Chains A and B, each alone.
Chain A
Amino acid sequence: MLNTFVVYVENKSGALARVALLFRRRGYNIESLTVGRTEKPDVSRMTITVEADADQARRIEANIYKLVNVLLVENVSAVPVITRDLAMIKVAAPQEVRSQVLELASVFRARVVDVALSSITIEITGAEDKIDGLLDVLRPFGVLEMVRTGIVAMRRGARTSEPNNEQTPDFIEESVSCSVKN
């Protein structure tokens, strides 16, 4: 199952390497990793997606939690979240087919951000499957180049993933529920 982790790290040299190396060392393949600034200048936020079963996911979370520069790690796979990926797609679009390409872009609510004689570049934001859908219909025209940012995720509703020292990490709560079940 695909797991999505939100990780807040102190903005210090090596913090990204520490997190990324952990996945490599424990043998998990990162599907997507994004990192960027937050509303606090000394804190960065990562969204990491990785294929793992529930038990592996709990251990990944615990291992990330142990890193000294990590302020918070949360597995948001089982809670309602908004996930977004952004792609720029450069499509071959000579005069004859240009209107068809533009029409498809508008159906997907994508934006045209650059036009040249024989190509147009489309920007699309959304969940991964929406972008995959646009890609599928553009492919017959000839996708010349594509770049995707990887996904970012945020909880729905008022609850935030803000670092807070008081809360019990959820993998500890999970270890209880798994034990009480038995």
Chain B
Amino acid sequence: MRMTGAQILWRSLELEGVKHVFGYPGGTILPAYDALTQSTIHHVLVRHEQGATHMADGYARATGQVGVAVATSGPGATNMVTGIATAMMDSSPIVCITGQVGSKMLGSDAFQEIDITGVTLPITKHNYIVTRPEDIAKTIHEAFYVARSGRPGPVLVDITRDAQQASCEFEWDASVPKLPGFRPDIQPEPATYEEALKMINGSRRPVILAGHGILISEASQLLREFVERTHIPVAMTLLGIGSFPASHPLNLGMMGMHGEAWVNKAIQEADLLLALGMRFDDRVTGELAKYAPKAKKIHIEIDPAEINKRVKVDVALIGDLREVLPKLLPKVTRTDSSEWLERIWELKGDSAVRDIQSLPDEGHLYAAHVINDLWHETQGSDTIVVSDVGQHQMWEAQYYKHERPRSLVTSGGLGTMGFALPAAIGAKTARPDAEVWVVAGDGGFQMTMPELATIMQENLKINIAIINNGFLGMVRQWQQFFYESNYQSTPMLSPDFVKVAEAYGIRAMEVTTRSQVVPTVKAARSHDGPVLINFRVEQEDAVYPMVAAGAALHDMIRRPSPLVETAEDV
């Protein structure tokens, strides 16, 4: 059947199972938008193309399905760059479709022409420029395959205007694309299993490091079986949160720069680290030379380029966790770790007295209390929290107890402020039955605030918690600790968020004391439409503990506590 390139584009997306795309029209993508009218695909009109990419990303992270963003050439395409880089750093499968000037005008600096495949070369897993309608179906099919296979990532498809307009016979080959240079199905060498098993079964002080790969690989249940068989405690990376239930007795919590003290200390004292689908980011290791000095390290990871990148490991099993773990499972034995677990609980007990949850609020509204109460109110329901970047993100990670995979969506690797609101729109679009909460700071929220209009236009029930401390809080905290409290350019004047929300037609409330938190959260949940809550929290609170840049992982700045002698702070 003869179709235009534009019709082929939507038909191909439909055949890939796409139900929603997030986009913004413009000159060179207009032929595609004209043909969209006949498609079954629902188009979410964003307010900025960065938002479209974060929405596609949120959609992907909430479900594991490929998210799709659409934009025009030139500024439309360059506005996508931050979102594409965010997806690249966090291995999120998205496909970005951009219009491009007509193929005869390529290279002539035509109006709104930008070499977007060149621009995105280092921040996409792969990208394509398509100049003929005959290539559209095959390229879309390949793009989806590349985006979701192996270690997922963003793929960009740039389609010239004339390729959208011209017609050809539509042919669809649903079989796995033939890409001789793309081999996502790497298998570990058989000998590495034996090596790994020897180390696991012989360990006395083991810790599992659970990363994003467990979620991507849908291996949470396998991890649980593994832990129940071996009794090895689990520490999570920020993006690994949700891969193992927070309430499980062997879940230690988050590791790293703002990880819990007992988690970091356990890693430093361990004799074996079993790293699953994580990449030893500098935010989780602290000073490399002093990282886990007593531990043998096993790395199970799908990306061969991650092996020995930062931390030298003893055994690497390069492959998909969903295939590797079942081969280890029948051969692992329960480790004799009772002394080890006692040691960890002892460390945990020391920390509990410093925990802000143990401290009286004395009339202050602490962000950690807001997060704790929000968790308490929403626990047990199918909730997705989408956090932005900064202090609130760390408090969310520390105090919201995630029980299920894909219940936290956050930008880890790139640390993109402004991610939360659009990513939440993507998550809610993908999972309309889930309760979706945005947790954002007053700074990051304003970076993508116009997407409030998208929420209204799409009529999405999203709850927004702004953790408003009047500062760019994490930067202020660094200034406090490392720049002698020189608060240069971090105090931030914000609009009245309640009025802003109301201008968009969104119900809004303000909370200034702890006693208001629970009733306001209840009211937000029961309201039949989007709600924004402006939590005016303590202005100069800091996230504890903290591993300073260049410090060893166990060398943490701890929360000053009236109940603890201050001298023994490390």
Contacts and interface: CB of A to CB of B under 8 A. Distances in A.
Contacts of B192: 175-176, 179
A104 interface: no
A97 interface: no
B318 A21 contact: no
A95 interface: no
B181 A179 contact: no
Interface string A167-182: 0110111011011101
Contact of B181 (A21, A63, A71, A171): A71
A159 interface: no
Contact of A172 (B117, B122, B195, B318): B318
Interface string B308-336: 11001111101000000000000000000
Nearest to A67: B181
How large, as a class, is the contact surface on chain B? 20 to 34
Contacts of A147: none
Nearest to A24: B122
B310 to A, nearest CB: 11
A27 to B, nearest CB: 12
A21 B191 contact: no
Contacts of A65: 304-305
B117 A71 contact: no
Interface in B247-281: none
Interface in A18-71: 18, 21, 25, 55, 58-59, 62-63, 65-71
B180 A163 contact: yes
B194 to A, nearest CB: 9
Contact of B183 (A18, A165, A182): A165
How large, as a class, is the contact surface on chain A? 20 to 34
B189 interface: yes
A68 B307 contact: no
Nearest to A58: B308
A69 B303 CA distance: 17
A168 B189 contact: yes
B239 interface: no
A117 interface: no
A14 interface: yes
A59 B305 contact: yes
A98 B309 CA distance: 55
Interface string A142-171: 000000000000000000000101001101
At the interface, is chain A mostly helix, strand, loop or mixed? helix
B182 A68 contact: yes
Contacts of B182: 68
Max count, chain B CB within 10 A of own CB: residue among A63, A165, A175: A175
Max count, chain B CB within 10 A of own CB: residue among A171, A176, A179: A179
A180 B191 contact: yes
A45 B316 CA distance: 30
Nearest to A64: B305
Contacts of A70: 181
Interface string B163-189: 000000000000000011111001011
Contacts of A17: 118, 121
B223 interface: no
Given A17-B118, A21-B121, A171-B304, 5 more contacts: A13-B129, A59-B309, A165-B183, A176-B189, A179-B313
14 contacts: A14-B118, A25-B122, A55-B312, A58-B307, A59-B308, A62-B307, A71-B181, A168-B189, A172-B186, A175-B307, A176-B192, A178-B308, A179-B195, A182-B315
Interface of B: 117-118, 121-122, 125-126, 129, 146, 179-183, 186, 188-189, 191-192, 195, 303-305, 307-309, 312-316, 318
